[in-house]
Amino acid sequence: MSSAAEQETAGAFRRVTRPEPGAAPGRRERIAPPPVWPGAPNPLGARFRTGPDGRPGTNFALWAGGAEAVELCLFEEDGTETRCPLTEQTHEIWHGFLPGVLPGRRYGYRVHGRWDPWTGARWNPAKLLLDPYARAVDGDFADFGRPPEVYGHVRDWPQQQVADTVRDDRDSAPYVPKGVVVHDEAGTAEHDEWLDDRRPKTPWADTVLYELHVRGFTKRHPGVPAELRGTYAGLAHPAALDHLRRLGVTAVELLPVHQFAHEDHLLRRGLRNHWGYNSIGYFAPHAGYAATGTAGQQVGEFRRMVHALHEAGIEVILDVVYNHTAEAGEFGPTLSLKGIDNRGYYRLEGDPRRYTDYTGCGNTLHVVQPQVLRLLTDSLRYWVTEMGVDGFRFDLAAALARSFHDVDMLSPFLAVIAQDPVLRRVKLIAEPWDIGAGGYQVGAFPPLWTEWNDRYRDAVRDFWRGALPDVRDLGYRLSGSSDLYAWSGRRPQASVNFVTAHDGFTLRDLVSYESKHNEANGEGNRDGTDDNRSWNCGAEGESADPEITALRRRQLRNLLTTLLLSTGVPMLVAGDEMGRTQHGNNNAYCQDNETGWVDWSVLEDPHWRELFALTARLIALRHRHPVLRRRAFFSGRAQDADGLRDLAWFTARGTEMTEQDWYAPTGSLGMYLSGGEIPGRDERGERVTDESFLVVLHAGADPLDFVLPGAPWARRYEVVVDTSREEQSAAPGTVHKGNAMVTVRPRSVLLLKVAS
């Protein structure tokens, strides 16, 4: 606790540092508030509707448990602020109806209460707060470089160890974005048309995910008009959609599009948060990605983007960050929840001044609390029912699954999702870990959920760089990771297989760098993981050596082919299919520039066009052949009258793998996939059959003589893919007899189809 002298000085500081009229941008004179009618406590947020006298207006409702008073603050175009006390309170929800407040009006809240950080109370009415339910946000938290006024405490207090206990009474309104009243389209012709939009509804087993950044994907796209690049409208442009169609992906997984803020430490270094994992508005599309305007227009633009993707047969999955907010810890800014009810929204330590941090970002939302659970589930349902999205990928999902301390798969959050009639029907993807004790939960999430499978990533990377001691783990990963998911009754689609993600090296950098090169992030190259499991093929960084560059391209073909032939749900990262590089930066979260944007000029190089062609051909092959996208795990037993097992493993000698072979050091593996009878039935109840395939993966540096299994497995094989070939736009077509010996070139994949 600060001394009496410090508190007295703090009071003086608050008195003398309030900006004088005209001293700060957007300084406003307050005017008399309009009448406020009682309104209704539900729904939460700002909802435009017709009032009891037939006049249009807006109902405002804010949950603020423990608050002593709440002021609704309305803002004119010139910045003039009108403060309207909300005097009605129902179950800790403060509410009121204001006639004449129309869509496009900007607003925020000031919440009054005790300032007592030692008990977790951090109310400060000098700070304008963003409505957690705001559907649109106007302005950017970086417009003023995160000034000290946006902090509830005196950020620059001389005794930094107690700075968070000294209240800052300067007005933050000139420096923070405002919520925007948005027209509720329910019941209108436009909304009814939206509801009639046919979602692709792609089954999980048929899904191919494509992780992309709305801004980064189109910012440098030459076919997208300059004024639309980096926006929702840009992603909806035919030039962007054409690439997705030609590639053949079925769903885009968008990096965060909730309104987010930029961290102070980045702004001080002249950088900005690019990825967006710093949410502050769970209902609002990030205003910085809008081409049409930020006074509510971003909502319609986002909807039109979703509609365009659906028309192209592509689902939209949002990467959502419900585990923490941009308000960070006790020394972070006061932007929304911290000033509404700090103790109600955040997990606090035994010392309530401090925040429990399972996320590495300073705070963790207290999802066990009913009002927090309501906020998150209301947000999820809104994005599904009113914005049209098809699913979610939950960042650090283990933090959401914690009860009071431990990760609990019967936690309130997971239980609510499981029974919700809207949310249980959409795609749910967990990043199944957080940074807290017991936070690594790969394979533990319940049915309905799929998971990012980092064990797949690590095994495939290690195999192709020659670091696996044997192929036991690789066998599990190629065949759907039954060791992780079958025990709980889940299916192969529970595993989202990936080799790269936004967090880490791009695929091209994975074969070009052995060490991270994050100097541009301004953190002394200390940020980002050191566990890259990469191999630079003999030289660090870009190389002019034709042998090295050829080997790197072959390794890219190997990695992509392995991914797209594996059982489970494959996920690609935008640009990997055409050799995108971040020049060794494996943590480009703050690189809102050419480093973090997709470089479309690489397609001018015929080598990278060939890589795109191979990726598209592999995806098309996957779509055509159900044996490559099984809905049930392999049994390893005979499935048909021919006596062939549905899955068999072979050594280079052409013999089936024994237990001893699984434990022996080797850099090669043969996988036979039988299409004789695949579990499940088609839409007409008919049995599903397919062609059979043999996949030979060889990570060794020398050629491998591989004996192709003969009868009863096959009499002849036709080569479909040979990654040793530089030209990949068409199938090789070479035919080999069963029991024949073929030479598999160094570090390559051979995919063969059983021929009649």
- Of 563, 557, 509, 498, the closest CA to residue 532 belongs to 509
Name the amino acid, one letter, at 744: V
Q: Which of 395, 509, 576, 691 is catalytic?
A: 395
Residue 311 Cα to chain centre, angstroms: 22
Name the amino acid, one letter, at 719: V
Q: Which two tokens stand for residue 697?
A: 């993966």
Cα(322)–Cα(375) distance, integer angstroms? 10
- β-sheet bridge partners, residue 656: 650
Which long-range contacts (C-beta less than 8 Å, at least 24 apart) are formed by 260-269? 260/286, 260/321, 260/326, 261/141, 261/142, 261/326, 261/333, 261/335, 262/140, 262/141, 262/142, 262/146, 263/326, 263/328, 264/146, 264/333, 266/590, 267/142, 267/145, 267/146, 268/145, 268/146, 269/522
Q: Which two tokens stand for residue 380?
A: 């999820």
The runs of H, that is alpha helices, within 17-47 are: none
10 Å Cβ neighbour count for 28? 18
Q: Which residue has the tokens 């007409």?
A: 684
Residues 6+ apart with CB under 8 A from 659: none
- Give the sign of the dihedral formed by CA 126, CA 130, CA 131, CA 134: positive
Cα(262)–Cα(264) distance, integer angstroms? 6
605 catalytic? Reply is: no
The runs of H, that is alpha helices, within 214-288 are: 214-218, 232-235, 238-247, 264-268
Cα(445)–Cα(9) distance, integer angstroms? 52
- Of 379, 380, 411, 372, the closest CA to residue 65 belongs to 372
Cα(633)–Cα(459) distance, integer angstroms? 19
Q: Which CA distances in Å does 358 have to 321, 330, 350?
A: 13, 15, 15
Cα(429)–Cα(519) distance, integer angstroms? 32
- Of 152, 157, 54, the closest CA to residue 99 belongs to 54
431 catalytic? Reply is: yes
Three-state secondary structure along 101-160?
Answer: CCCCCEEEEEEECCEEHHHCEECCCCCCECCCCCCCEECCCCCCCCCHHHCCECCCCCCH
Cα(396)–Cα(432) distance, integer angstroms? 6
Cα(1)–Cα(12) distance, integer angstroms? 18
Q: Which of 81, 140, 168, 431 is catalytic?
A: 431
Cα(555)–Cα(662) distance, integer angstroms? 24
10 Å Cβ neighbour count for 117? 23
Q: Which residues of 227-249 are buried (b: 16+ CB within 10 A; e: fewer)?
A: ebbbbbbbbbbeebbebbeebbb
Cα(417)–Cα(428) distance, integer angstroms? 9
What is the DSSP secondary-structure string of 488-540? GT--GGGEEEES--SSS--HHHHTT-SS---GGGTSTT-SS-S------TTSS
**Residues identified as active-site:** 395, 431
